[in-house]
A and B are shown apart, each in its own frame.
Chain A
Amino acid sequence: MNNKNISRRKFLIRAGTGVGGLAIFQSAIAKPVVNLLDENSPLIIPENFEPCVWFTMQSSGRTNVHIYNTEFGQHIGTSLAQLVAEELELNWSDVSIDYPSMDQPTKQAMGGVMTGGSMGVLRAFEPLRRCAAIAREFLVEAGADSLGADISDCRAEEGFVIDAAYDQRMSYAQILSERQIDHVIQPEELLEAQLKNPSDFKIIGKSVAALDVPEKVNGSARYGIDAYAPNMIYGKMSLAPTRLGSTIQKIDDSQAEDISGYITTLKLSASGFFGMGVTDVALVLAKSYPAALRAEQVIDVQWDAPVANLLDEVDLWDEAQRLARTREGAGDWLKVGDAEQAMGESDFTLEAEYSTSMIEHAALEPRSALVQPIDGTYHIYSGHQGGAMLIQFVANVLNVPEDKVVYHPHQIGGSFGDKIYADQIVVAAQASQEVGVPVKVIMTREDQFNLGHPKSISLHKMKAGISQQQYAAPGQRILAVEHDVIAAPDAFGNRPGAACDSIDDNQSQATSNVPAPVVAGSDHWYDLQSTRVSFVPHQMQQQVIPTGAVRSVGNYYTVFAVESFIDELAEAMQVDPLTLRLSLLQGRGRNAGVPVPDAVVSSLPDTASYVSAGGNVRLANVLKIASGVANYRSPLVGKRIGQGLSIAAAEGRHNPSFSACVADVSLTSGGNINVEKLTVCADVGMVVNPDGARAQIEGSLLWGLSSAMHEAATLEKGRLKETNFDNYKWQRNADLPELDIHLVGNGVVPSGIGENTMSLVAPAICNAVAALTGKRLRSLPLKNALPLV
């Protein structure tokens, strides 16, 4: 097999006989480029080596790694470049990254690239390394040939092919200047890639500086809002009185006609994405953005607002309570054993109810879009998490073929799910189609709140059946747990949940279809004798506010409910919460995770499916580390401090990062909660960039703190009451807890890092407050319960 490949490759690696000399460059490998100064003397441009969509090697020795994921602070480009550089044996200083445009051919080649769910590195881990390893073999072969060496004596190292037998070397730059390697790696070749052993990694696992940091320090980074096209005009939205369902009756712009630069106002309609609610938008166009802002103030739009949508926050909660009683539309997401029967056999039951508010993305860059029509093709300059889906969506709205829409990605000034939604891109595209010139739509902060896609409210009804049996292990005494999650369904489609016959059953059957992101995290990793988790859709909320994916999606509230309830159970059973948790993390049934075959891991065909290998034993281990490091409930911590635990395996079973937290909490003299320290241990499988991972966890923890303590978006007459950061409060650079972060790589592949620790914070704080004061807080944000008296 190997020999056959080598002979095929020999055919593909082309070079002139007697390597060296300008004539050979020209005839054999160089691409002639017309020299405008002298047509008879073409410029000599050696061709690049482009074996796959992921990277291009230039004859200068530089390698450009093409990043199809969107960059919004996670430094995904750097992590993916590390994967390529490692297997390709590059010198890190020879690596750069770029962000290709997304058009229909690219979409066909790449499939639907979507950045989200903390899946970026995991999805790329296998294909990028394998392509790079195969390209490395080509370079070694070409280098060996040029050196006149036996290929078996040659290896690649830091940008050189080295012949160990004769102690000679040749750089990649030299090799690629003299030869053209003309090969595109085929999918069937990927399995033959000779991957490095992880113990030999030199770049993966190293805290290289992020490649997108310098431009973010000197102000030159280009974000979507910075997009520019010659003769573009500007659009300012004038928004409807309700978030959804309002329609424009009439636009009177006579007052705006005196404003210098005012052009016109268009009646448009937009939705955030396929399947989401539609709203009319009046788009004020002007030659400058300030002129558009001024004109929008004076135009008179007559709206028809649907009375049914004029709801307030209290209506959402009344409906949630009604749904909790009736369980209307409930679907089972997880079933282990027969929880109903086991509940009936228990000695006593415990019930609790938890609730959380709506949360806005509040990304600091408001959404914006520049759409430029050129010869019937619409060029989108913006920041969006899924360019492939975006061109499909916009083509659909504009009623043009998909190959007439191209997305040019820009840096994203914070997303957290916000830049999945494309209302502003749709509006800019529609306007550019109508007026025929480039249109740049910039949302103000008020527009952003008004046209937002917040996280749903959530209500959790939890019930457990407990046995009084004295001598059983604590976990064995919990006979049944039932959890109803009441929240708005999302627009991303349903997935079947899982049903197992018993705690030791690892072959689950499909249950009802449920929106997986909305219930993410409720499918937790505790070994329960029997359990049932159900989703009850809050349709009313989705009809009034199109709720969306916000950092960690469902984990934020499901982990809050589950981890608070575990502590309440521990108290009722009079066992320590740490003891109870460890007793429920024994790797039973499906909680053992995906079994890994005894083969060498690098020979596995699809390592991504082994992300959960090790199962909840890894959760037990991070919990032990975090509680140990935090000196959990040692007398030395002192009575002034309450400590609380939590664990999570966000984002879901398909991509768990096992993490644990200890919150150290005290009370101020005024009865406010002072979070002094968060100790976290995260097992992210394999750490690609330790400093980058740490940065993500630092941000996630403070996000979790901000959401838990402060954040609440509220419904008022069919739209959000909050309009800007003066009335939507979040964490400032003040009163920060100490963050003590410990990274563990106990898996076989890297898992997600951007979301997993965010959901730990709220339950750890509440468990700590309960330990300190005896008072149980069951509703987020906690500011509503303060001061504690």
Chain B
Amino acid sequence: MARLQINNKSYLVNEEADTPLLWVLRENLQLTGTKFGCGGGHCGACTVHINGEAVRSCQVRVDDVDGAMITTIEGLSSNGDHPVQQAWMEHQVPQCGYCQSGQIMQAASLLRSNPNPSDKDMERSMRGNLCRCMTYTRINAAVRTASDKIKDLS
């Protein structure tokens, strides 16, 4: 029995200890904004925050995050208006949209720890998040815009 703190709510989950967090989020808790893409940590579609850090939820056992603070795309902001989400809207980033929860969570985590990333910092952080619609140029432009928004706020 794991006690999960997700988006500032507490859940008790009765699953096998080695169940990937991803499936608990998606199927037990119906937090389906976090996506399954590869199951091997290769694509980043399942990225969530654990204690603020971007993590691939398909690679995390549910028992290992007992008590940790987990944030999914549903909890990133109250109205879908996190600066990263605003920038994603402004640049009309999503096409099919399937990878974008993961992209947004990855970018939000990057900008939290590094509000003014260099191009190299951005590439290092974002290159693990695949997008088959290949919206990469817009993703990068939106991360820049979000960075500007966050700098303006602080």
Which residues does A use to contact B, with CB under 8 Å? 72-75, 209-210, 212-223, 225-226, 228, 234, 260, 288-290, 294, 362-366, 411-416, 442, 444-446, 691-692, 695-696, 698-699, 701-703, 706, 724-726, 730-734, 736, 739
Determine the distance from Cα of A14 to Cα of B25 in the docked complex, in whole angstroms: 52
Q: Say how far A390's CB is from chain B's closest CB, in angstroms.
A: 19
**Known contacts A364-B96, A724-B42; A698 and B132 CB within 8 A of each other:** no
Instruction: Determine whether B115 belongs to the interface, using a CB cutoff of 8 Å to chain A.
Output: no
- Is there an interface contact between B36 and A442, defined as CB atoms closer than 8 Å? yes
**Known contacts A365-B96, A698-B134, A730-B130; A445 and B89 CB within 8 A of each other:** no
Chain B's interface size range is: 35 or more
Determine the distance from Cα of A726 to Cα of B101 in the docked complex, in whole angstroms: 21
**Known contacts A445-B38, A695-B135; A364 and B23 CB within 8 A of each other:** no
Q: A218-B85, A289-B23, A413-B97 are in contact. List 17 more A-B contacts (CB 8 A).
A: A214-B89, A217-B93, A219-B73, A223-B32, A226-B26, A234-B27, A290-B15, A290-B23, A366-B37, A413-B96, A414-B96, A414-B98, A695-B138, A698-B137, A702-B134, A725-B43, A726-B42
Specify which chain B residues have a CB less than 8 angstroms from the CB of A691 in the assembled complex: 92
Specify which chain A residues have a CB less than 8 angstroms from the CB of B19 in the assembled complex: 290
Determine the distance from Cα of A225 to Cα of B131 in the docked complex, in whole angstroms: 17
- Is there an interface contact between B27 and A260, defined as CB atoms closer than 8 Å? no
List which B65-86 residues lie within 8 A (CB) of chain A.
72-74, 76-77, 80, 85
Q: Say how far B39's CB is from chain A's closest CB, in angstroms.
A: 6
Specify which chain B residues have a CB less than 8 angstroms from the CB of A289 in the assembled complex: 23, 27
- Is there an interface contact between B96 and A73, defined as CB atoms closer than 8 Å? yes
Determine the distance from Cα of A240 to Cα of B123 in the docked complex, in whole angstroms: 39
Contact with A along B104-121 (1 / 0, CB 8 A): 100000000000000000
- Is there an interface contact between B80 and A214, defined as CB atoms closer than 8 Å? yes
Specify which chain B residues have a CB less than 8 angstroms from the CB of A703 in the assembled complex: 134
- Is there an interface contact between B30 and A736, defined as CB atoms closer than 8 Å? no
- Is there an interface contact between B23 and A698, defined as CB atoms closer than 8 Å? no
Determine the distance from Cα of A696 to Cα of B95 in the docked complex, in whole angstroms: 8
- Is there an interface contact between B97 and A216, defined as CB atoms closer than 8 Å? yes
**Known contacts A209-B89, A209-B92; A731 and B134 CB within 8 A of each other:** yes
Specify which chain A residues have a CB less than 8 angstroms from the CB of B100 in the assembled complex: 216-217
* Contact among B37, B76, B77 for A364, CB-based, below 8 A: B37
Specify which chain B residues have a CB less than 8 angstroms from the CB of A695 in the assembled complex: 92, 95, 135, 138
Determine the distance from Cα of A266 to Cα of B40 in the docked complex, in whole angstroms: 27
Residue of A214, A289, A363, A415 with most partner-chain B CB within 10 A:
A289
**Known contacts A72-B96, A218-B73; A225 and B36 CB within 8 A of each other:** yes
Specify which chain B residues have a CB less than 8 angstroms from the CB of A725 in the assembled complex: 38, 40, 42-43, 130
- Is there an interface contact between A213 and B39, defined as CB atoms closer than 8 Å? no
- Is there an interface contact between A217 and B104, defined as CB atoms closer than 8 Å? yes
Specify which chain A residues have a CB less than 8 angstroms from the CB of B137 in the assembled complex: 698, 702, 736, 739
Specify which chain B residues have a CB less than 8 angstroms from the CB of A214 in the assembled complex: 80, 89
Residue of A212, A219, A225, A290 with most partner-chain B CB within 10 A:
A219
- Is there an interface contact between B40 and A445, defined as CB atoms closer than 8 Å? yes
**Known contacts A364-B37, A698-B138, A725-B43; A213 and B89 CB within 8 A of each other:** yes
Specify which chain B residues have a CB less than 8 angstroms from the CB of A366 in the assembled complex: 36-37
Instruction: Determine whether B147 belongs to the interface, using a CB cutoff of 8 Å to chain A.
Output: no
- Is there an interface contact between A364 and B134, defined as CB atoms closer than 8 Å? no
> Can you name the residue of chain A whose Cβ is closest to the Cβ of B32?
A226
Determine the distance from Cα of A726 to Cα of B104 in the docked complex, in whole angstroms: 22
- Is there an interface contact between A733 and B95, defined as CB atoms closer than 8 Å? no
Determine the distance from Cα of A730 to Cα of B129 in the docked complex, in whole angstroms: 12
Residue of A364, A692, A706, A731 with most partner-chain B CB within 10 A:
A364
- 9 shortest interchain CB distances as A-B pairs: A219-B33, A413-B98, A216-B97, A73-B95, A218-B80, A219-B73, A73-B96, A702-B134, A725-B42
Determine the distance from Cα of A294 to Cα of B74 in the docked complex, in whole angstroms: 28
Pairs across A and B, CB under 8 Å, 30 listed: A73-B97, A214-B89, A216-B97, A217-B80, A217-B97, A223-B35, A226-B26, A226-B32, A234-B27, A260-B16, A289-B23, A289-B27, A290-B20, A294-B16, A363-B98, A364-B131, A366-B36, A366-B37, A411-B96, A414-B132, A442-B36, A445-B39, A691-B92, A698-B138, A725-B40, A725-B130, A726-B40, A730-B130, A733-B126, A736-B137
> Can you name the residue of chain B whose Cβ is closest to the Cβ of A412?
B96
Determine the distance from Cα of A3 to Cα of B138 in the docked complex, in whole angstroms: 53
* Contact among B15, B32, B35, B123 for A734, CB-based, below 8 A: B123
Determine the distance from Cα of A698 to Cα of B92 in the docked complex, in whole angstroms: 13
Specify which chain A residues have a CB less than 8 angstroms from the CB of B145 in the assembled complex: none
Specify which chain A residues have a CB less than 8 angstroms from the CB of B97 in the assembled complex: 73, 212-213, 215-217, 221, 411, 413
- Is there an interface contact between B35 and A413, defined as CB atoms closer than 8 Å? yes
Determine the distance from Cα of A484 to Cα of B73 in the docked complex, in whole angstroms: 51
> Can you name the residue of chain A whose Cβ is closest to the Cβ of B142?
A217
Specify which chain A residues have a CB less than 8 angstroms from the CB of B77 in the assembled complex: 218
Specify which chain B residues have a CB less than 8 angstroms from the CB of A698 in the assembled complex: 134-135, 137-138
Specify which chain A residues have a CB less than 8 angstroms from the CB of B52 in the assembled complex: none
Determine the distance from Cα of A216 to Cα of B91 in the docked complex, in whole angstroms: 13
Determine the distance from Cα of A696 to Cα of B123 in the docked complex, in whole angstroms: 23
Instruction: Determine whether B127 belongs to the interface, using a CB cutoff of 8 Å to chain A.
Output: yes
> Can you name the residue of chain A whose Cβ is closest to the Cβ of B90?
A209
Specify which chain B residues have a CB less than 8 angstroms from the CB of A74 in the assembled complex: 95
Determine the distance from Cα of A312 to Cα of B153 in the docked complex, in whole angstroms: 58
Specify which chain B residues have a CB less than 8 angstroms from the CB of A445 in the assembled complex: 37-40
**Known contacts A73-B96, A209-B92; A733 and B127 CB within 8 A of each other:** yes
Instruction: Determine whether B4 belongs to the interface, using a CB cutoff of 8 Å to chain A.
Output: no
Determine the distance from Cα of A464 to Cα of B94 in the docked complex, in whole angstroms: 45
